[in-house]
Structure 1
């Protein structure tokens, strides 16, 4: 149980407060080490672990409420360093022992299945919630996440020269002024994991940074999965088998995905050119093409595109109720697109939206038979190369999704998603999905 003295101490001066946090974390670690591993604990031992963990988390949250701006300024040298979420959490572990888990603790967690972890990423969620809430630290972190990745900057000269980049899960090819991003996890229906997020952010950066590119196009490639062999598929969403094994990261997947490449689809990539007074971001219009289905994270992507084309037999779904996790920024963007009633049907009840039904027109701009799909894509690409497109899409995004509203949503998401990752219902569900699925993703069970 958290003492009143400790709560007062973590609200006091920063130097003393950080020692209180470190001491409380050491005590928590000692208690947990004295207990069996999580999978071998009795109900009473689980309760004892939860009590000591929650007491320390109360101190962390209180500490951050009082000191988050001072903490962030220390980590970023007065906001002169631009640390991404994973780098920021790493720096916090070193500078403020006990505030967030260390790399060694996280490595130990990654070696465990999701059901057998202590849930240390929740402490990262608490930390990043407070950072993103802050009117000073939050916008600075958003800017850091909009900057191009070092990997993209390294690959950019070769991509600009050849117009091609082969990444593990995404192929990028420039034809004319179009950057065509093809999702190519052929054996798993383009299920998402940490690698896919890294590849997608790299690919989006390349398309945005290459001056020869005017329009970005995202489409699923042909599958080798036995059920869809030779057919294009857009995305089956998060890889539930990887989540079950403990391989989905809060910072490298769930937060990086939303604050990184998906936000870049909306806002563009941020440059260091202080003389670019017209705009410090490089933005381009994006077109998405849905073959077969866009499930979960695949469906979430559509809300960031400027134009969506779908095959007549395609469908969309956000099976958040089945997974038990929060579907990214869909709870914010989907309501804006389709209204609150349909949003609840899709997110809370698992309703599928089929391309040919009337409600699909709220999410899909064009629907075509497979034989007409390629021609429709090329017509759309030509339309989106108009000279006034960029200025108007910028103003539309400014009006539809104010940056402050997005920041506040992501602050709450950082905590709530970290809690959902370790909830009993999610662990039970992903275990059952993983056992039933050959891919570990949302293998469809119904098609129209």
Structure 2
């Protein structure tokens, strides 16, 4: 770092514009300030080649831009959302909304090109531009006007599912890269098939899972959704069913976990639809149609770790084989376990929820506490029969309407929105925190994935 560059950075920071409340003027001021900041950042080496002094300079540039972005979206969330959705005519999904914002309001969020460049690096070598997406979505979700509309947009059917629906209605079968869907009678069986990594969650699985959830909710021939892990090819569990190993640490280390398309979309899209139903949009007369709810059954084999355990907090019936266990190791990894902080205490009470989330306490299916997170514990060879009985019992119109009312009582939309607003900012920042990067790198190294080229979360299970 040269002295002239350091002085230029300080002069630039001192000239940060004041946001005065006029959208167009404030947007122009933001664009000019960020453009100058990007020029300063371009004068530095790439992150992996910086010494501590240069990295401090980069952090000051990125931090100043981030601060102004936060002020701008805090003042103009409603105006920005109106502009990006053409006055509410368009129901934009998260990724499309972020990229549209990058074009309409230069400097507010990273561009497609900037994120593409980031994606070529491992996590620790990125600039952390996704943090600015977290700032953006926090601002939108905090708005009592824009926030609910954004959340409802994410509960709409995904374009991919709408394309696949006619074929699924006709055949009752669908094979996606990481999810298999089969309709049997009135139950649609959704099998997680990310076999090589013990059903660890990655960008592809989140996309496939939301698509399958949409199809279950849109298919008139389906009354109940059933989720179970498939038979694994991973050497440690070859031939056995596994529910989920949580986030794929190898992909996180390698920079392949997307904040928007995985972590935020998962909560607001896929999991949101399981909990709060699918919003089909207005009818032909422009009237709002009621969200489509259906009951869900989960069958847990081996373990439900991290995101796998988070899923269980949404289901109407959870059946576990007696050797299974549940855990949320997010605090040990340094990240936030999705919306579990809002939901888990309803099941376990606050004290046990704190031990699970903050200390990583593991719950085995045979522990007395297991009854707080699952409904039935059976031998491995009895899981299928228990699932069939549960699906038959839950396939009733009154069940659908009562689960709708339970979801409304347990998780009012505004409470969820306020939680998600803070989650957006905190989780995006956590992804680039030094403790997270160190822990993920250590886990990746211990697992031997650097030599074998295969990803899993096995090191977490001990």
Residues 315, 353 of structure 1: 8 Å contact kept: yes
* Residue 83 (structure 2) pairs with residue 74 (structure 1): yes
Q: What is the alpha-carbon distance in structure 1 between the residues aligned to residue 134 and residue 47 of structure 2? A: 21
Question: Is 2:93 the partner of 1:84?
Answer: yes
**Structure 1 residue 51, shift from structure 2 partner:** 0.9
Q: Secondary structure at the match of 1:11?
A: coil
Determine whether 1:297 maps to 2:320.
Answer: no
Provide the rounded CA distance (Å) in 2 between the counterparts of 1:133 and 1:382: 41
Verify: 1:413 aligned to 2:432, yes or no.
no
Contact 1:295/1:442 (8 A) holds in 2: no
Query: TM-score under structure 2 normalisation?
Result: 0.94
Residue 22, structure 1, aligned to residue 43, structure 2: no
Aligned residues of 2:16 and 2:33 also touching (Cα < 8 A): no
Q: Which digits, 9 at most, give the CA deviation of each residue in 1:361-403, with x for residues without a partner?
A: 1000000011221111111111101231011111111110101
Residue-by-residue CA offset, 1:190-228 (whole Å, 9 max, x unaligned): 011110000000000011000000000000000011111
Length-normalised TM-score, structure 1: 0.97
State the match for 1:374 in structure 2: 384
> Against the structure 1 CA distance between its residues 335 and 19, is the aligned structure 2 distance closer, same or farther, given a 3 Å change threshold?
same
Relative to structure 1, is the Cα distance of residues 26 and 38 closer, same or farther in structure 2, using a 3 angstrom cutoff? same
* Secondary structure of 1:61's aligned partner: helix
- Which of 297, 313, 316 is the equivalent residue of 2:323? 313
Hey, what does 1:403 align to over in structure 2?
413
Match of 2:7 in 1: none
Mapping 1:290-369, distance limit 5 Å: 290-369=300-379
After superposition, the C-alpha distances for 1:10-58 in whole angstroms (9 at most, x for unaligned) are: 2332111111111111122111111111111111111111111111111
2:455 is the alignment partner of 1:440:
yes
SS at match of 1:187: helix
Q: Distance in 1 between matches of 2:327 and 2:65?
A: 38
Tell me how far 1:276 sits from its aligned partner: 9.9
The question of 1:34 aligning with 2:49 is answered no
Deviation of the 1:5 alpha carbon: 6.6
Cα drift, residue 273 of structure 1: 4.2
Classify 1:64/1:286 alpha carbon distance in 2 versus 1 (closer, same or farther; 3 Å).
Answer: same
1:224 counterpart residue number:
233
Distance 1:420 1:239, change over 3 A: same
| Unmatched segments (≥5 aa) in structure 1 | none
Find the residue that maps to 1:182 and give its secondary structure: strand
Equivalent-residue separation in structure 2 for 1:445 and 1:14 (angstroms): 48
2:160 is aligned to 151
* Distance 1:273-1:211 versus aligned 2 partners, 3 A rule: farther
- The gaps in structure 2 that reach 5 residues or longer are 1-9
Cα distance 1:7–1:25, how it changes in 2: closer, same or farther (>3 A)?
closer
